[in-house]
Structure 1
Amino acid sequence: MVSPSLRSLVASAYLIASIALSTAAPIHNEDACGILGATDAAVITYDLVAACYNAIPFDANIASDTLESVVKIFNDYYVFRDSALTPDLKMPFTSAPVDIVKELTAIKSKNAYIFDQPLILYAPVIDGQQSIRVLYDRLGRKYSDCEATTIEGVPALLYLQKFADSLDISKDAGARLNDAIGSQVYSSSAKVFGFIPGEFSRRVALPEKPIVSYELQSPSKNGTPSKRELYSPVKKRGTYDVESATIPPKRTSDLPNAKLLGAGKATVFYQLQNPSSVGIVVVHTLDFDPHSPDDVEEKELECIAHYLSEFNRLKVSKIILDFQNNRGGLVNFASTIVQLFFPNNGPLDKILPQDMRVDKSIQTLSEHVFGKHKLYDASRFVDFAIQKKYENHELFLNPVTITRNDRSTLFTKHTGLSTEDLQNKSFTKETKDFPWTNNAANIRILSDGRCGSSCALSSYYLHNLYNVLTYSTGGIQGKELSIFSFAGGSVTDLNYLIETYNTGKVSTTLMSLRYKGVLGFPYLEVYAKGSDVPLEYDYSKYAAGTHLNFDPQNARSRDVMWAQVANDAWKSSKSKPRV
């Protein structure tokens, strides 16, 4: 994620005396941003950043143009405009209805900086009780596993849950909590797992105040919790990317119970040492660098097939697919990666029913971009009636009316975005006789609820079409936790939509944003087979079969978590959920 406007900065928090903070005077200056830009990174303060934000003048023309385009996008193209009004969603969803067009007028964008705290928190269950504790202290003050009894004077777990409910990653409160706290991600550059802070400890919006007040209780002491106040002076930084995970220092071995066999661009392969019959496929993304060669997806599939062959050679018979914190990517890859485990019997096996919003502008556009591989190009979609791709833009000419939450809107009839069929690929012939191929009993899915977009589709195929059992880790003790999130469909953005209109030489009133930023939105929605509820809102498809709690070991060492799943899945006579 690139931080837009001004310069990209990151805050690095330090423990200081609260008396020094209470005497800091507010900064008032007509050129507050000029002062900020000229200030050495080592002495930039929260007040300097806040003063610059508050000094930026309001331009009514820019605001009007921007809001007009944003409202039009969400009013005319956003497929979930009406579904988002659904009240009383069932578990595991806990989100309130949202009228996106109404709420747009309240937008306030303050995200030119990043504000970091040194404490990375997590929510383990210890002795049957969930609490908020320190997963990792980046300043090395030996706070690891200290319990945060309160944050800002509020019980810490309650405070974090309330904060997490402001996040938009999922309708599931447990997945939102996982996004708020710290977690491990695979770093492709370092080739190890490292910690990322979570949305609570790393902010892209200006925090409410420069201090976060904790009460920390050492696990080795029974005395009164000690109060700590953390302050975040800002430091210069380039761009923030998930790859820049903070790797714990002085680790003698990355994963003692797992042997690294190799990695592709989107996948990593391990063999557990105990039990050695279990292979791990970490699928950390379904996306690729936009500058990658055209055949990058096929090369990745060949890589996966190669390491599956290596698993087979090493007498591996069971597979865990680790989808934790996979934010998705290519829709085609969502299907093709599953085909390596469950080959297609026909070309439409893994194409789910889909539809899109339709209006006169889209109908005109669809005629002029047919065959040009752009948005609303019907040649990319399958006509289910004849089980072949459309040969003209008829898909958009005969819309149907769908009424949701008392709003009626025109949509295409059900179609499907065409995906590649691997039946004739040589590398699929190599994998067809492995112990896990077409055998759900020998595969498990491991998630944390944040497997999203195309990753969600892969999980859906595996679990709902092929009966692969599922585990989700973290979340809220005693509550169901989703396998995946934001499973809605295909996402585009305003700039690409305008580019599509330009390609078709069709006029539009849409305007690019007048500032650096991306306005993304889903333009296509997906349905589970046999359902008339968009998968984004089909709560019955989300919950994992087994909920695995975080503990001090599995939250720090992914191999511990893999072994827990393997032992539960294949050594017990009956798998029992641990909630």
Structure 2
Amino acid sequence: MVNLRSLLLSLAFTFLPTLTLAQSEPSTPTVNTTNPTIDPCTTLGSRNGTNITYTDVSDCYKFIPFNRAQANTTLTTLYTLYNDFYVFRDASRNPIQLPPFSNESVDILGELDRIRGLGYANDFQFHADVRAAVGSLRDVHASYEVNCYTAYSFVQPLYLYAPVINVTQYVRVYKDNLNRNMQLEDCIVTTIDNVDALTYLRQAADELVHYSHDPNVRLNAVLTSQRYRNITGDIIESPGEFSRSRYLPKAAFVDYQLKCANSESPLMLRAEWIVEKLTNAEFDDRESYVENVCRAEPRVLPTPPSPPTRPSPGSPHRPSRTSSARRTSSHTPPPPRHTRTVHPPKRRQTVYAKRQYPAEPSPSPSPSLEPEPLPSPSPSLSPSPSLSPLPSPSPSPPIPSLPLPAQQYTHTQKTAISSDTTAFYQSLQKPTLGIMVVHSFAGGLPESEFDTILAGLSDLHARNVTQLLIDLQVSEGGDVEFATRLVQMLFPNATVEGLGIGVDMRVNPSIQRLSKAILDEPQISGAPYDARMFVSLEDNNRHRYNDNSLFMKSTATIRFGRSANYTNPTTLFIRPLPSHITSAVSTFPWTNNPTQIRLVTNGLCTGACGIAAYLLSSVQKVQPYGIGGSQITPLSMFSSPGSLGTTLETIQQLYADHGIQSPMRDLPYKNRVPFSPPSQLYINNLASTIEETK
């Protein structure tokens, strides 16, 4: 097995180990065969979170009857959301053909209408189809999840990855979490459910992963990867979406055929799903399950507004509609800062970077930091036995064994300085090389976060580091302001105005009423319909909005055959870095010097992470390197179209807080339904893929 971290430090990369989970796909309604005289939810509730089987959960889920009235409420609300609020409603109808992207045309409104016309044997199948329809948009800010059918997780004991060995890519066992005496680590997985293993995982990735248009990034998402754990400051394994999922798999078990170095005959194994309870709700039958796990609580409305009064002379704010408990000050506070989860825009131009592979794997030396083993699932959570050998086919030649990859950067020394978002390492083999692991783009952190990052970079400089490797493998979405300012720490010659990325948003009369009310109530957060968050780009006269003209001066635009109103081009307001930071970083040898900086990603970099990857590679011309995916195939640097993400629940609460009737009804079930109000549309020369070469 290839030592991934040592390869990373030498800038010669192979595929990350990864793992995937089985999950239900869009289904054709079938007849419910559950015995109607027995309530399987009673059985499931009696398990008390232990010894739960796949059948226990499946039977309870499918015992909940389909409710046509609830389904109509759900579909009507989602139709309004995607028709009147979702900015990519029309862009999603345009298929992306630029390799390696694979994106079919999706008419989400047509899909919702199609589902409305179907009949269902149970409620579970209806929600599975809705989830699949929304997931087909492949937008990380467009998904449909209800608590009712994500109350349990399903885990496979085998973790898988797909390294390239001697110019050939195999699926292998990264770790066996239950049967260590079987010595399955590093065995080649030849088939899964009687299908070629790599083919099976690619197909599973297309079904399970809904946030990337790149099938190779989706493959990375279903395999085992490594992530930085900020609490303990080490790198741990992440099993991937094939081996751990909150969604009901298709069957109670998975069949594997393995080829191991210690056996001449192929080994056939059947691995049952380990089930873990995620909800704290108690129930003892179907009705109490629906009431306690599924049903959404009635929305609590704010205190009725007081009669309008004329402000006293010099009063800095208008009377609030909300109770005094919501007010943070008797004076007008500065416009609230919000977590801006922003995704990179649709790809327009391909910029390539070389990906290298080692000619021959070599044994991995001991890691410089002691790895912490991933705890095995508790046997009490699994039926026994979880792995059962099946009859073996004819013998086959043995295969060479490979060392397991380390769980830390090998041949490195971690510095004493780390922050809530970054960690720093120095290469021992090449002491002039430093590594900045950006493991989070979280928003809402104090300004001192950038002082800590400065301290980490200063420490590398004091160690005579002259080259910087930026690792974005473990990063996801977050705050676009943080991403922009982080890039400015490396390239202070670039202003935040120059790093800003243009957006536009859908507009309708309901949004206009809401945005006006948000400006009238500065004490209440109004993202993403708070105009003060944005900067005007009209007539090249950049200024921050202090009125509602952004939403009131909309423009009718036809996109892919449909007309809708959009705001004029705008961009998010970003605060510049303090001068003491830009002055301090100017002394570093890599500052404003893209030849001394490298970027590494596995394509799972989404949202604000994607913005940072774009600004570094395409705007500042930093060379990117990719890890994972499929052999001899380009890999995209980041995933999902650009947007400022929010949720249906957030928008509904905004309407309620400001006393405005929402055009959408609340969904019957507890839910998480994110979507994209604004889009990132005005990026030129977008670096979208990393070319793979031997």
Query: TM-score by structure 2 length?
Result: 0.69
- Percent identity between the aligned chains? 33
Partner of 1:159: 200
2:264 equivalent to 1:115: no
Per-residue CA deviations over 1:539-579 (Å, capped at 9, x if unaligned) read x631025x4xxxxxxxxxxxxxxxxxxxxxxxxxxxxx43x
The change in CA–CA distance for 1:35 and 1:542 in structure 2 (over 3 A counts) is: same
Partner of 1:146: 187
Q: Distance in 2 between matches of 1:489 and 1:209?
A: 36
2:540 equivalent to 1:369: no
Where 1:227 maps in the other structure, the secondary structure is strand
- Does the CA-based 8 Å contact 1:456-1:487 persist in structure 2? no
Structure number with the bigger relative contact order (C-alpha 8 A, sep ≥ 6) is 2
Count of residues in correspondence between the two structures: 504
Listed as ranges, the gaps of 5+ residues in structure 2 are 1-20, 22-32, 116-128, 132-145, 281-371, 377-403
Q: Distance in 1 between matches of 2:107 and 2:474?
A: 28
Per-residue CA deviations over 1:392-427 (Å, capped at 9, x if unaligned) read 1111222223322222222111100111111x3322
Q: 1:369: how far off? A: 1.4
Listed as ranges, the gaps of 5+ residues in structure 1 are 1-12, 14-24, 240-244, 289-293, 532-539, 548-576
The change in CA–CA distance for 1:252 and 1:437 in structure 2 (over 3 A counts) is: closer
Q: Distance in 2 between matches of 1:347 and 1:206?
A: 45
2:420 equivalent to 1:265: yes
Q: Residue 268 of structure 2: which of 201, 216, 227 is its match?
A: 227
Q: Distance in 2 between matches of 1:253 and 1:169?
A: 26
- Does the CA-based 8 Å contact 2:438-2:474 persist in structure 1? no
- Does the CA-based 8 Å contact 2:189-2:197 persist in structure 1? yes
Q: 1:530: how far off? A: 4.0
Mapping of 1:271-282 within 5 angstroms? Answer: 271-282=426-437
Partner of 1:410: 565
Amino acid aligned to 2:259: Q
Q: Distance in 1 between matches of 2:172 and 2:555?
A: 52
Q: Distance in 2 between matches of 1:326 and 1:406?
A: 36
Where 1:340 maps in the other structure, the secondary structure is helix
Mapping of 1:503-514 within 5 angstroms? Answer: 503-514=657-668
Q: 1:345: how far off? A: 4.4
Q: Which has the larger radius of gyration?
A: 2
Q: 1:299: how far off? A: 2.3
2:63 equivalent to 1:55: yes
Where 2:563 maps in the other structure, the secondary structure is strand
The change in CA–CA distance for 1:435 and 1:248 in structure 2 (over 3 A counts) is: farther
Partner of 1:467: 621
Per-residue CA deviations over 1:238-266 (Å, capped at 9, x if unaligned) read 79xxxxx9737999984441111132112
Mapping of 1:30-49 within 5 angstroms? Answer: 30-49=38-57
Partner of 2:582: 428
Amino acid aligned to 1:195: E
Q: 1:516: how far off? A: 2.0
Per-residue CA deviations over 1:416-453 (Å, capped at 9, x if unaligned) read 0111111x332232111201110101111100001001
Per-residue CA deviations over 1:104-125 (Å, capped at 9, x if unaligned) read 4331663221000011111111
Q: Distance in 2 between matches of 1:247 and 1:100?
A: 40
Partner of 1:308: 457
Per-residue CA deviations over 1:175-209 (Å, capped at 9, x if unaligned) read 00000111111112232111111111112111111
Q: 1:237: how far off? A: 5.2
Partner of 2:688: 542
Q: Distance in 2 between matches of 1:480 and 1:254?
A: 26
Q: Distance in 2 between matches of 1:364 and 1:252?
A: 56
- Does the CA-based 8 Å contact 2:153-2:277 persist in structure 1? no
Per-residue CA deviations over 1:467-495 (Å, capped at 9, x if unaligned) read 00101100010110011111412100011
Q: Distance in 2 between matches of 1:251 and 1:201?
A: 19
- Does the CA-based 8 Å contact 1:193-1:247 persist in structure 2? no
Q: 1:47: how far off? A: 1.1
Q: 1:236: how far off? A: 3.8
Q: Residue 336 of structure 1: which of 477, 485, 497 is its match?
A: 485
- Does the CA-based 8 Å contact 2:87-2:677 persist in structure 1? yes
2:671 equivalent to 1:517: yes
Across the aligned residues of Structure 1 and Structure 2, the Cα RMSD in angstroms comes to: 2.4
- Does the CA-based 8 Å contact 1:305-1:428 persist in structure 2? no
Partner of 1:537: none
Partner of 1:483: 637
2:389 equivalent to 1:247: no
Q: 1:232: how far off? A: 1.8
Where 2:676 maps in the other structure, the secondary structure is strand
Mapping of 1:45-124 within 5 angstroms? Answer: 45-104=53-112, 105=115, 106-107=129-130, 110-124=149-163
Partner of 1:192: 234
Q: Distance in 2 between matches of 1:528 and 1:147?
A: 46
Q: Distance in 2 between matches of 1:247 and 1:528?
A: 43
2:476 equivalent to 1:327: yes
Q: Distance in 2 between matches of 1:511 and 1:246?
A: 47
Q: Distance in 2 between matches of 1:312 and 1:437?
A: 11
Mapping of 1:199-218 within 5 angstroms? Answer: 199-218=241-260
Amino acid aligned to 2:150: N
Amino acid aligned to 1:335: T
- Does the CA-based 8 Å contact 2:484-2:496 persist in structure 1? no
- Does the CA-based 8 Å contact 1:448-1:472 persist in structure 2? yes
Per-residue CA deviations over 1:300-352 (Å, capped at 9, x if unaligned) read 21111110000000001111111114221112111111111011544412111
Per-residue CA deviations over 1:71-97 (Å, capped at 9, x if unaligned) read 211111111111111125211211212
The change in CA–CA distance for 1:524 and 1:246 in structure 2 (over 3 A counts) is: farther
Partner of 1:568: none
Q: Distance in 1 between matches of 2:587 and 2:442?
A: 28
- Does the CA-based 8 Å contact 1:92-1:542 persist in structure 2? no
Where 1:369 maps in the other structure, the secondary structure is helix
- Does the CA-based 8 Å contact 2:92-2:105 persist in structure 1? yes
Q: Distance in 1 between matches of 2:214 and 2:503?
A: 23
Q: Distance in 1 between matches of 2:564 and 2:482?
A: 31
Q: Distance in 1 between matches of 2:35 and 2:438?
A: 47
Amino acid aligned to 1:93: F
- Does the CA-based 8 Å contact 2:188-2:260 persist in structure 1? yes
2:501 equivalent to 1:352: yes
The change in CA–CA distance for 1:233 and 1:58 in structure 2 (over 3 A counts) is: same
Where 2:624 maps in the other structure, the secondary structure is strand
Per-residue CA deviations over 1:484-529 (Å, capped at 9, x if unaligned) read 1114121000111122223433222223332222110011111343
Q: Residue 132 of structure 1: which of 155, 171, 176 is its match?
A: 171
Where 1:525 maps in the other structure, the secondary structure is strand
Q: Residue 381 of structure 1: which of 530, 534, 542 is its match?
A: 534
Where 2:671 maps in the other structure, the secondary structure is coil
Per-residue CA deviations over 1:246-305 (Å, capped at 9, x if unaligned) read 7379999844411111321121111111111111111112125xxxxx5x2422211111
Query: TM-score by structure 1 length?
Result: 0.82
Q: Distance in 2 between matches of 1:251 and 1:153?
A: 28
